A and B are shown apart, each in its own frame.
Chain A
């Protein structure tokens, strides 16, 4: 070692030391610079099957256009039972989506508190007082003058099972985290809620029968109210959209009289927006007005031969739509073949307005009550939903009669309806997402699978490594 030191002059060693120190400093500096730059840019690649952590363009546009910064507070303490586990899972997903939203627009949305209530009771009390929080297991979106609160049930659909139902468990049916957060965000920053009036008084579908539809649009930031057309002289000026959900005669729909028709016509003429579902067995009185806007209502209703739940082929009034208009904002995000809207009892339409939905070719227009395909009856495809856009006014007419009814309001039909409401109220940037079905990812545990996993995990696979080691040793010896 002494000889080594003698052969190396001190000056040269000092230079080497300085050189290495300078190189290390340079590397450290480059490291900091590169990561300091990359820190502000994120390129997430979402590998999940339904891309559930990818924000849709509508959400990004909304986030970037927020004028009031939104603070998010998430107090939680979930139980250890299955319901608690599932709710925690949904909140974890929501938390991840909020993180992505914060990344997209850090100046407009900030998750300021996310705390487990039981872990730090003192902090929870402080936060509760500071943000005036009322309950836990909620996502609070807060602006200086408004707030929106989301519960787990707003983010996902759970199937709760009665505790007495043996062998059954609470399930997560579907989740809708991104859309629920987007909608809540929109509500919390919206200065004024567009007004939607649902007509009543002539035997139209009662609001109670379409409560899910009414609640769905109210949750999307609309002010939804009923209006009795028998009691008004005109539709109020501030109305953004009028919804007419007609019904059948048997259900009490008696059509609109001349005076009501003129009220409705003048509403449309002055630029009002109208959404309408047609009655299946009588005219509404508005046919002439609709015709002026390029929507003609054909006589009869759509029928086709389908297979019933007993496997028998028979004519009925239920069908699915294989056609979506890819050019129209209402239906552009649906894919023929992938998405299917199911309807039951529908009128057929025609005219020069834009087609939204069409039936398949196997349908016919049933003009009698026999529900049998006659040679004289027109065959499909038929238009069953159309949209008309005038200078100011917008009209969407749906042939399917019961589409707004709670029982039928689901899936693609629900999304089409919501998108129609957005388009009619000039909010095309919005779009109704689908409720992503929670795929069942579960091992059915029985004695056979448990035994298979036990032997494979604890004996077979680790045992293979020992065998491989012995083989390697044997080869090495040879």
Chain B
């Protein structure tokens, strides 16, 4: 646990001292700020619609799909490219501790990014009365989906030394998860298969549950189990590299 904490601290510090992280933060805030201002005017101040669009519109999904691969692309790729990975493993830190520390750090930074939107929301609170339950549900949903996408990103990062290739692989995997909701059109409402697709579709969870202020606890199991599975595969990918 101490080793996980040490890796976590090191990684988090590297996020907060890296210029790239601040560029990501700036782009993130600017994109959300412009969107937020645009929606305030487009929806003539109707809070429910503004929030629904801010946390479910195209910019939101673009950021959700893009940011985790950008945050995690250098996690192992950079270590391998620069040769520090071998150095790390010789210190006796297990692959599991390494993956866990890096994963927690990337997820923390991911949540920090979404946390920077709270000034907008407090500003909203000063002039209107947004429903805080719905906002909490939104951020809870973001935290859950962040778990999976950060785990996917880390897994992709273990596969290659090239950061761009790592981000691309993660992005493709994320898109596969996202486009799960498009398979809905192949089924009729009420079909069991449709219910399966709905269960694993993040877009569906956001539109039907989180956007309405409802948190279904089974999604914690879903996202938690998927992120654990990807982390496990990431550990195995690192182990595999020692033998091949």
Residues in chain A within 8 A of chain B (CB atoms): 8, 13, 16-17, 20, 23-24, 27-28, 30-31, 34-35, 38-39, 41-49, 53, 85, 89, 93, 96, 99, 102, 110-114, 439-445, 449-450, 452-454, 456-458, 461-462, 464-466, 468-469, 472-473, 476
Q: A443-B127, A453-B40, A461-B116 are in contact. Are A48 and B134 (CB under 8 A)?
A: yes
| Interface contact B29-A465, CB-CB below 8 Å | yes
| Interface contact B236-A48, CB-CB below 8 Å | no
Q: Kindly name the residue among A34, A42, A47, A93 whose own CB sees the greatest number of chain B CB atoms within 10 A.
A: A47
Q: Can you give 28 contacting A-B residue pairs, CB < 8 Å? A: A23-B232, A24-B233, A27-B232, A30-B225, A34-B221, A35-B221, A43-B217, A47-B133, A47-B214, A48-B131, A48-B134, A48-B214, A49-B131, A85-B49, A110-B190, A111-B189, A112-B189, A440-B129, A442-B44, A443-B40, A443-B45, A443-B47, A444-B127, A457-B120, A458-B33, A462-B30, A466-B26, A469-B22
Give the Cβ gap from B180 to chain A, nearest Cβ, in Å. Answer: 13
Interface positions of B from 229 to 244, Cβ below 8 Å from A? 229, 232-233, 236, 239-240, 243-244
A53 vs B216: C-alpha distance in the bound complex, in angstroms?
12
Q: A461-B33, A462-B33, A469-B22 are in contact. Are A39 and B199 (CB under 8 A)?
A: yes
| Interface contact A443-B128, CB-CB below 8 Å | yes
| Interface contact A453-B213, CB-CB below 8 Å | no
A53 vs B208: C-alpha distance in the bound complex, in angstroms?
11
Interface size on B, residues (CB 8 A): 65
A112 vs B40: C-alpha distance in the bound complex, in angstroms?
36
A136 vs B116: C-alpha distance in the bound complex, in angstroms?
43
Please pick, from B26, B127, B212, B221, the residue contacting A38 in the complex, using a CB distance under 8 A: B221
- Taking CB atoms, residues of chain B closer than 8 Å to A453 are 36-37, 40, 123
| Interface contact B131-A457, CB-CB below 8 Å | no
- Taking CB atoms, residues of chain A closer than 8 Å to B134 are 47-48
Give the Cβ gap from B53 to chain A, nearest Cβ, in Å. Answer: 12
Going nearest first, the 10 A-B pairs with the smallest beta carbon separation are: A469-B22, A47-B133, A457-B33, A443-B45, A441-B47, A43-B217, A48-B213, A110-B190, A462-B29, A462-B30
Give the Cβ gap from A330 to chain B, nearest Cβ, in Å. Answer: 31
- Taking CB atoms, residues of chain A closer than 8 Å to B16 are 472
A468 vs B22: C-alpha distance in the bound complex, in angstroms?
8
| Interface contact B218-A41, CB-CB below 8 Å | yes
Q: Is B58 an interface residue (CB 8 A)?
A: no
The residue of chain B having its C-beta at the shortest distance from the C-beta of A72 within the complex is B189
The residue of chain B having its C-beta at the shortest distance from the C-beta of A169 within the complex is B44
Q: A20-B236, A43-B216 are in contact. Are A111 and B190 (CB under 8 A)?
A: yes
- Taking CB atoms, residues of chain B closer than 8 Å to A48 are 131, 133-134, 212-214
- Taking CB atoms, residues of chain B closer than 8 Å to A449 are 127
| Interface contact B26-A469, CB-CB below 8 Å | yes
The contact string, 1 if C-beta is below 8 Å from chain A, for chain B 192-214, is 00011001100000001100111
| Interface contact B46-A46, CB-CB below 8 Å | no
Please pick, from A8, A27, A458, the residue contacting B229 in the complex, using a CB distance under 8 A: A27
A24 vs B47: C-alpha distance in the bound complex, in angstroms?
46
A102 vs B217: C-alpha distance in the bound complex, in angstroms?
17
